[in-house]
């Protein structure tokens, strides 16, 4: 596919950029190189291969490792300030 100067003008209009006339030749060359690379990718034939093993989601069983509240006292002992079984913090928002 050939990228023409008219295509470059249309692209610059859509992108709302101005291209200096001294840069147009280099920009045309760069765009043709990019489109040439993309056309090479389009020529690659890729056959879809079905996997032998179906993809599946592997999950572990939900196992309760600690009773609720079993670590609460240890956590509260490490807090700088506590009140009524909660960690006390200074007010951030007013």
Q: What is the pTM of this model?
A: 0.44
Number of domains in the chain: 1
Separation in Å, CA 72 to CA 3, 40, 65, 87, 90: 69, 63, 15, 10, 21
pLDDT, tens digit only, all 94 positions of the chain: 688 889 999 999 999 999 998 999 999 999 999 988 888 887 777 776 666 777 778 888 888 887 888 888 999 999 999 999 899 999 999 8
The pLDDT score that the predictor gives to residue 1 is 62
Looking at residue 71, its pLDDT comes to 87
Question: Is 11 domain-assigned?
Answer: yes
Domain that holds residue 9: 5-43
Does some domain include residue 25? yes
Q: What is the pLDDT of residue 16?
A: 94
């Amino acid at each position: 596919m050939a990228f023409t100067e008219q295509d470059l003008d249309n692209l610059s209009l859509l992108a709302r950029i101005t291209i200096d006339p001294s840069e147009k030749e280099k920009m045309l060359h760069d765009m043709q190189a990019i489109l040439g690379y993309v056309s090479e990718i389009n020529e690659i034939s890729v056959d879809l291969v079905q996997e032998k093993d179906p993809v599946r989601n592997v999950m572990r069983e939900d196992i309760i490792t600690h009773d609720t509240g079993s670590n609460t006292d240890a956590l509260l002992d490490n807090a700088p300030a506590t009140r009524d079984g909660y960690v006390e913090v200074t007010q951030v928002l007013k």
